Structure 1
Amino acid sequence: MTRVFIYGTLKKGQPNYNVMVDTTKGRTKFLGRARTVEKYPLVIAGKYNIPFLLKVPGQGQRIQGEIYSVDDPMLKFLDWFEKCPQMYQRTPVLLKVEEWVGEGEEAPQVGSTTEALMYSTTTYKPEWLQYPTFDCYDAYGDHGLLYVKREARD
């Protein structure tokens, strides 16, 4: 099992959460909530209003998200879903734990740090660095940039 940090449309209550619980794709287990130790720009961009976490450490905000444990089939599916490595790259990230519900001897304490894999991108338009950044993505937020699901795209 591999720990993955989810910060966008795959989080609970977001448009693509259904794939995280689709057992035909693999197994997942929600472990808790955390925030990146380092700042990153999380922007909403492109004609489909996709959340992009730009691989520019030190800029933007500390990103809040969810940590999941996923099996190999789910990790392979997430790589496909996130167009890894063409659009996103999967890299380790250090996180500060805000809530932990997962069990086991490797369970970190709230306030401590842990590591997980994160999907971020080095492929983006330069002007995206000037876009507003978010610390917590919500497809239905007051930003007015409604996410367009894959099945609704032209």
Structure 2
Amino acid sequence: MFKMAQVFVYGTLKSGQPNNYRMLDAANGKAKLLARSRTVDSYPLVIATQYNVPFLLNIPGKGHRVQGEIYSVDEKMLNFLDWFERCPHQYQRTLVKLEVDEWVGEGENNPKAGSIVEAFVYSTTTYKPEWLQNPTYENYNYKGDHGLEYIRREDRSTK
């Protein structure tokens, strides 16, 4: 039997971002928001490609402590996320240590603010060297001051 997995999202899948609806779509599986958190280690979160995609580069110790959300997901949603994130080709799913900012999930014995938990994250070791020259971000927002608005897959031309 599959135990629910915890996944940390930091980009377009977060609340208020253009792909969050995918986390809420029951056809993809079950996902429940548990907490707002940040990575314990710093990582470079960059915006790259002509589609302005946020990428968490798996280079601990560089960049910022990245802010995001922890979701509890079932096996169907985890499989969907693997497909959506093109895992293992574009992103790899690995465990990351997170510091809880605010636990919003229900239940008893929930981690308090400042607690350290682990969750899966989709990060990449496959990137173009010039991405290391891109600005890094602590908190991704597709309409942020960076001016690099994310282009959804549905809106990308097939040319």
Smaller-chain TM-score bracket: over 0.9
Q: Secondary structure at the match of 2:38?
A: strand
- Report the TM-score when normalising by structure 1: 0.98
Q: Secondary structure at the match of 2:76?
A: helix
Structure 1 distance, partners of 2:115, 2:76, is: 29
Q: Secondary structure at the match of 2:27?
A: coil
Within a 5 Å distance, the mapping from 1:32-111 to structure 2 comes to: 32-105=35-108, 107-111=110-114
Structure 1 distance, partners of 2:145, 2:134, is: 15
Shift of the alpha carbon at 1:101?
A: 1.4
Shift of the alpha carbon at 1:96?
A: 0.4
Q: Is the aligned partner of 1:21 residue 2:24?
A: yes
Q: Which amino acid aligns with 2:110?
A: A
Other-structure match for 1:6: 9
Q: Which whole-Å deviations, capped at 9, do the CAs of 1:86-113 have from their partners, x for residues lacking one?
A: 0000000000000001133552111110
Structure 1 distance, partners of 2:70, 2:119, is: 7
Structure 1 distance, partners of 2:143, 2:74, is: 29
Within the candidate set 102, 123, 148, 2:151 is matched to 148
Q: Secondary structure at the match of 2:26?
A: coil
Q: Secondary structure at the match of 1:24?
A: helix
- Report the TM-score when normalising by structure 2: 0.95
Gaps of at least 5 residues in structure 1 are none
Q: Which amino acid aligns with 2:15?
A: K
Runs of 4+ in structure 1 over 6 Å off: none
Considering only aligned residues, what root-mean-square deviation do their CA atoms show, in Å? 0.8
Q: Which amino acid aligns with 2:29?
A: G
Q: Is the aligned partner of 1:125 residue 2:151?
A: no
